[in-house]
Structure 1
Amino acid sequence: MDSLRPDDNPLRRLSLDQLRQRTSMKWRAYPEDVLPLWVAEMDVPLAEPIARAVLDAVALGDTGYPAGTAYAEALAEFARKRWDWDGVAVERTAIVPDVMLGVTEMLKLVSGPGDPVIVNCPVYPPFYLFVRSMGRPVVEARLGQDWRIDFAELENAFRRATAGGRRAVYLLCSPHNPTGTLHSAEELAAVAALARTYGVRVVADEIHAPIVASGAAFVPYLSVPGAESGLSLMSASKAWNLAGLKAALAVAGPEAAGDLARIPEEVSHGPSHLGIIAHTAALRDGGGWLDALLAGLDENRRLLSRLLAEQLPAVVYEPARATYLAWLDCRALGLGDDPAAAFLERGRVALSSGMPFGTGGAGFVRLNLATSPELITEAVRRMAASLCA
């Protein structure tokens, strides 16, 4: 569906006045005169199958502790339908509170304090925050100029991280945040081969997996040859806007089953029972809603390209094949290393600064496309006007 009726597109359903009634981080971090297009929340109503499942649970008073494997079973079926992948074995999954807390639990399973963790920068800022808080140093492997994995850089990082016989982990962001790069099967197989050569364990954050552009296909890391010892974190959180309903799944490759079996039992107490109900409903019954969202995001990518070409031609933007994020190169604007600060102060539009994304982020901003075309249009207008302020 290339063109949607306005009432079909979830991104067109809520007005600015309705959105400003929200009490979540995106809409409360800044004053009301600021247009927020920063943190990864979507400006959409809750998909009807999810709302129904949660309301039914509340009506029953079904608000106790989580139990069962419904979430894993729903993910397995979703993976078969969407990715033609039959690799989610329910017995090799574990529920975790959310993806980043799941990442920390996986790091505990396969590494210890002082063991390096390799990341492809620029990358999602919590990678740095969570890893360093666990006493593990971060080793950066910069992406190439095309925002794809630079395998010479990656091998050099693997070599440095494992020097002296140290254990090391590669924290793979797939699809990549903030660039929206969709790693190919060939690239992921090369990652797996390189990891085996150097004895590096791979933990993949695949939270954005369902969000792909038209004609694109997500490839699960655990589906490629050589990835059998990998660990993955998956969730319905990003694709259905469920950050406030905590739940995620850790998925182990066949050779990592023993590692996942060592996860402490108390970790399973962290996810919300209502969260698991919501995520399960999203994966089982939210496909139609997701398809409408993906079509709306395609439209927004085209809109942003046109608006930037017209009003901010010095900004370099390559529409991503995945995620609902836009990574904008603003270095030619003369706004310094942190253009987001200027756009906020002069234009009253909040974007994510590229600086916290690590090496390579200076001069960039990340814009959240998961909003209405009207708000994207107004945001670009404000950004352009800020250059004249």
Structure 2
Amino acid sequence: MTSIPQHPPGEPDPLRALTLGQLRRRTSMKWRTYPEDVLPLWVAEMDVPLAGPVVRAVTDALALGDTGYPAGTGYAEALAGFAAKRWNWDGIAVERTAIVPDVMLGVVEMLRLVTGPGDPVIVNSPVYPPFYQFVTHLNRRVVEAPLGAGLRLDLDLLETTFRAATAGGGRAAFLLCSPHNPTGTVHTAAELAAVAELAERHGVRVVADEIHAPLVAPGVTFVPYLSVPGAGRGLSLMSASKGWNLAGLKAALAVAGPGAAADLARMPEEVGHGASHVAVIAHTAALNDATGWLDALLAGLDANRRLLTALLAEHLPAVRPHPGRATYLAWLDCRALGLGHDPAAVFLDRGRVALNSGLPFGTGGAGHVRLNLATSPEILTEGVRRMAAALT
């Protein structure tokens, strides 16, 4: 029987802090979408209490009645400090940042700046489903350049796609997911530099969704897109949302490379009004004061990745997990189970465990599911047990 790994000494693992009973008191999407007999291991919410510094910052703001409109550059300064310490990158210039309501709405605004109606936006499928939804709603055209071997960027395909997208002098953008959701792939500096070179050669503007940047496994290096040579005309969206479980406290930052400063300056001022002042306070506290909590979380997630691999080997050996090294999401290849294009529907119906269907992730998603690792080892173990029971 698979044993549950022990947490190393230090700040306590937040993934082990809450019971299933406590979690079921939550009223957010993860816990209220399905009936109570379903174990939810799907949408990107973590089963953790908030970091103490975040709770204190928000509580103090509420006690003071500090619930007005966002102002100042504290969030950008906090992100710049975090990037310098965490990624050894001092490239975030506060004057080349802007507050946006959240990462996906920020993506929309950046795409609006560098493309026009009907222009192509290239994505690496399988990829986060809102990429398709938001781009289409913006009246842009999604063009897939699927991931290649090992679910890494296929640079040859990207070049072909970039060339076709800009044939005749048209505009195009590349919406880069880094680290990649759902695969957990961490792009290397060499890969990102190659992307930047291709983008410059073909006149494609890169918009990078880097929301999962804080969530890389111990010993793995995240490389900000704007840090690589040739990426100066790129735009990035960053946030503390995923790293500290702050999705309900909406705020993010758009960051421009030196060659994109003029583009960012054209963003309408009212876009920044959509962010929450309390959220900005929370995100700033997370980046400044809750890195110890983040480190404990990352250790817990790494243990859960190993636990999931062991559980699948024991109970579902035909399922192939992709060894992602970032995010708290696991991409599982279930095609050998013979459950058709949508195994998540079978796991839900027969096993009463909710996973994300691979189908909305685009090409490469059929026969796959995405599983949320950000839970206790006990709940993760029960989730795999239910998946296995769905096959009997």
**TM-score (structure 2 length as normaliser):** 0.98
Q: Aligned pair 1:39/2:43, yes or no? A: yes
Note if contact 1:7-1:13 (Cα within 8 Å) is conserved in structure 2: no
Q: Following superposition, which runs of at least 4 residues in structure 1 exceed 2 angstroms of deviation?
A: 2-7
Which residue, out of 144, 149, 152, partners 2:148? Answer: 144
Which residue, out of 182, 185, 190, partners 1:186? Answer: 190
Which residue, out of 196, 218, 222, partners 1:214? Answer: 218
The 2-side partners of 1:182 and 1:29 are apart by: 31
Moved more, 85-94 or 314-323: 314-323
The 2-side partners of 1:368 and 1:79 are apart by: 26
Q: CA RMSD in A?
A: 1.2
The 2-side partners of 1:157 and 1:384 are apart by: 40
Deviation of 1:341 after TM superposition, in Å, equals 0.2
Residues 281-334 of structure 1 deviation map (CA, whole Å, 9 limit, x = unaligned): 000001000000000001000000000000000000133111000000000000
Q: Aligned pair 1:67/2:71, yes or no? A: yes
Residue in 2 that maps onto 1:349: 353
Residue in 2 that maps onto 1:252: 256
Task: Tell me which amino acid in the other structure corresponds to 1:195.
Answer: A
The 2-side partners of 1:145 and 1:84 are apart by: 29
The 2-side partners of 1:153 and 1:113 are apart by: 24
Residues 90-130 of structure 1 deviation map (CA, whole Å, 9 limit, x = unaligned): 00000000000000000011111011000000000000000
Residue in 2 that maps onto 1:375: 379
Which residue, out of 164, 167, 176, partners 1:160? Answer: 164
The 1-side partners of 2:81 and 2:12 are apart by: 25
Note if contact 1:331-1:364 (Cα within 8 Å) is conserved in structure 2: yes
Point out where structure 1 has 5 or more consecutive residues left out of the alignment. Answer: none
The 2-side partners of 1:355 and 1:24 are apart by: 24
In structure 1, the residue corresponding to 2:149 is in which secondary structure? coil
Note if contact 1:74-1:280 (Cα within 8 Å) is conserved in structure 2: yes
In structure 2, the residue corresponding to 1:146 is in which secondary structure? helix
The 1-side partners of 2:177 and 2:329 are apart by: 14
Deviation of 1:6 after TM superposition, in Å, equals 10
Identity rate of aligned residues, in percent?
Answer: 76
Residues 161-197 of structure 1 deviation map (CA, whole Å, 9 limit, x = unaligned): 1122110000000000000000000000000000001
Deviation of 1:155 after TM superposition, in Å, equals 1.1
Deviation of 1:27 after TM superposition, in Å, equals 0.3
Aligned pairs for 1:298-337 (under 5 A) are 298-337=302-341
Note if contact 1:207-1:235 (Cα within 8 Å) is conserved in structure 2: yes
Residue in 2 that maps onto 1:279: 283
Note if contact 2:47-2:374 (Cα within 8 Å) is conserved in structure 1: yes
Which residue, out of 193, 202, 205, partners 1:201? Answer: 205
Q: Aligned pair 1:132/2:136, yes or no? A: yes
The 1-side partners of 2:49 and 2:351 are apart by: 27
Note if contact 1:6-1:12 (Cα within 8 Å) is conserved in structure 2: no
The 2-side partners of 1:172 and 1:235 are apart by: 15
Residues 220-278 of structure 1 deviation map (CA, whole Å, 9 limit, x = unaligned): 00000000000000000000000000000000000000000011010110000000000
Deviation of 1:5 after TM superposition, in Å, equals 5.5
Residue in 2 that maps onto 1:29: 33
Residues 71-104 of structure 1 deviation map (CA, whole Å, 9 limit, x = unaligned): 0000000000000000000000000000000000
Which residue, out of 227, 234, 237, partners 1:233? Answer: 237
Residue in 2 that maps onto 1:78: 82
In structure 2, the residue corresponding to 1:31 is in which secondary structure? coil
Residues 198-232 of structure 1 deviation map (CA, whole Å, 9 limit, x = unaligned): 00000000000000112101000000000000000
Aligned residues: 388
The 2-side partners of 1:13 and 1:263 are apart by: 42
The 2-side partners of 1:32 and 1:104 are apart by: 35
Note if contact 1:10-1:292 (Cα within 8 Å) is conserved in structure 2: yes
Note if contact 1:353-1:365 (Cα within 8 Å) is conserved in structure 2: yes
The 2-side partners of 1:215 and 1:367 are apart by: 23
Q: Aligned pair 1:264/2:268, yes or no? A: yes
